Amino acid sequence: MAHVVVVGAGLGGTIAAYELREKLGSEHKVSVVNKGSRFHFVPSNPWVGVGWRDRAAIEVDLEKVFAKRKIALHAQGAKRLHPAERRIELLDGESISYDYMVIATGPELAFDEIEGFGPEAHTQSVCHVDHALMAKQAVDKLIASPGPVVIGAVQGASCYGPAYEFAFILDKALRDAKVRDRVPMTFVTSEPYVGHLGLDGVGNTKGLLEGELREHHIKWICNARVDKVEADKLLVSEIAEDGSVFKSHEVPQAFTMMLPAFRGIEAVRGIEGLTNPRGFILVDPYQRNPSFPEVFAIGVCVAIPPVGKTPVPVGVPKTGFMIESMVTATVHNIDQLIKGKTPSAIPTWNAVCLADFGDSGIAFVAQPQIPPRNVNWSSSGKWVHLAKIGFEKYFLHKIRSGESEPFYERLAMQALGIDKLKKVKIEPEA
Ligand SMILES: Cc1cc2nc3c(=O)[nH]c(=O)nc-3n(C[C@H](O)[C@H](O)[C@H](O)COP(=O)(O)OP(=O)(O)OC[C@H]3O[C@@H](n4cnc5c(N)ncnc54)[C@H](O)[C@@H]3O)c2cc1C
């Protein structure tokens, strides 16, 4: 019997546990270590931030569904991984051992890297449902007492889609509340241009997003480094190509929501051979760690280099389709190893995204993720908003049922009409 332990039950870890359970026979054991027993659908957090969803709508109690699927849940969370000993130290002092481990612990949010930044200081966040609920209270205050708004993503961020989403969703919420005319809005981003998205743009994302920002009366500052946040303003340096400060801005704020830079969680940071200096897990093309061959990693916790040099550091986003491809490849490769074969599945890491703007949205497909590409497609319209709502319902229904599904693959192949977007490439057996 092999024991496979997934650490982290977010978007990647939960579907990995379901796929492992389906792929491996009942003679093998699948366990999950998570901080808590509840799954949150992170892509819905921007809606929670304006009160269009509450916690219950986007949360799933994993205890019952895991028990039904015969997946053991350790909800204490991991204190430290000990890959040399094939052991996970839990936060309550217990330890569990494994034959294979899949790390899916997502990001630690690096708010502390900027003075005055984060939900414990002067800005809001939608990265976690708890933050999004706090942001909702701040939105209510903003509606009661309108003032300037800043939305965006700081230096080193890698997740830009939700920043654009939240800008347009908040714009819609403020229009609905009839106070938008008293709220100047500025989009402040480390991207070198609007619509770069950490991917050097996809299709016409530059044109589409600039157009949307103009149409919604949202000004923007690119190449932005946030130096400090104060209760009523942000101190922002606009950085030139040569790295010098081109312009200094004092941007007034009554409400700010900016995506932070990410880093690996404490339980994995600084483990020689496992992580890079920011604590992201090093993997080979099979999602396998080169130093610890029984360790795989999926999702936001994986180390991926940026697409190119930019005046302000900009990371590569790790989105649903890409994460799903990492999951399917990892499950295939662990199954191969259990059967005494060599890993042969390589995830394609394509980017397929729907970004909701409250009453419309943009969609894009990048294949491969890094340009030049074979597919470099973007589109916009009301259909994106409706597709994203339908997708959320479908995803949560499947998570509640304990069924693994090629969610993003279906979206790419059916909703977006693309029939050749493969999640994984299987190498022929040697
Ligand atoms: C606001 C927002 C919106 C997004 N919207 C989209 C979108 O619309 N489409 C898209 O494709 N992508 C989107 N993304 C990107 C990406 O799909 C999500 O970030 C996704 O949740 C990443 O999945 P993950 O499994 O890597 O991490 P997560 O979903 O964050 O899961 C990490 C898990 O690890 C657990 N964990 C943390 N520390 C420990 C520990 N010490 N021990 C045990 N468990 C631990 C956490 O509790 C959590 O359950 C969005 C990201 C954000 C932040």
**C-alpha radius of gyration, the chain, whole number:** 21
pLDDT score, position 25: 86
Lookup: tokens for 426: 């299987």
Cis peptide before 368 (omega within 30 of 0): yes
pLDDT score, position 42: 98
Measured between alpha carbons, how far is residue 33 from residues 61, 73, 268, 314 in Å?
14, 6, 14, 31
pLDDT score, position 401: 93
* AA identity, residue 60: V
Q: What pairs with residue 362 in β-bridges?
A: 355, 380
* AA identity, residue 20: L
**Does the beta carbon of 320 lie inside 6 Å of ligand 1?**
yes
**Does the beta carbon of 198 lie inside 6 Å of ligand 1?**
no
Active-site residues: which are they?
A: 159, 353
Q: List the chain domain ranges.
A: 112-260
pLDDT score, position 10: 98
Residue 118 DSSP class: S
Quickly tell me which residue has 């319209």 as its tokens: 381
The answer to whether the CB of 151 falls within 8 A of the CB of 163 is: yes
DSSP 96-113: EE-SEEEE---PEE-GGG
Lookup: tokens for 70: 């015969």
Lookup: tokens for 82: 């000990």
Binned average pLDDT, 10 residues per bin, the chain of 430 residues: 98 97 95 98 98 98 96 98 98 98 98 98 98 98 98 98 98 98 98 97 95 98 98 98 97 98 98 98 98 98 93 95 94 98 93 92 88 88 92 92 81 65 81
Lookup: tokens for 222: 């690119």
105 Cα: distance to centroid of ligand 1 (angstroms): 8
**Does the beta carbon of 129 lie inside 6 Å of ligand 1?**
no
Quickly tell me which residue has 């049922």 as its tokens: 401
The CATH number of 112-260 is: 3.50.50.60
**Does the beta carbon of 281 lie inside 6 Å of ligand 1?**
no
**Angle of helix 205-215 versus helix 161-176 axis, rounded to 10:** 20
Nearest CA to ligand 1 atom 5: 43
Q: Give the pairing of strands 218-221 and 38-40.
A: unpaired
Measured between alpha carbons, how far is residue 88 from residues 12, 70, 81 in Å?
19, 20, 5
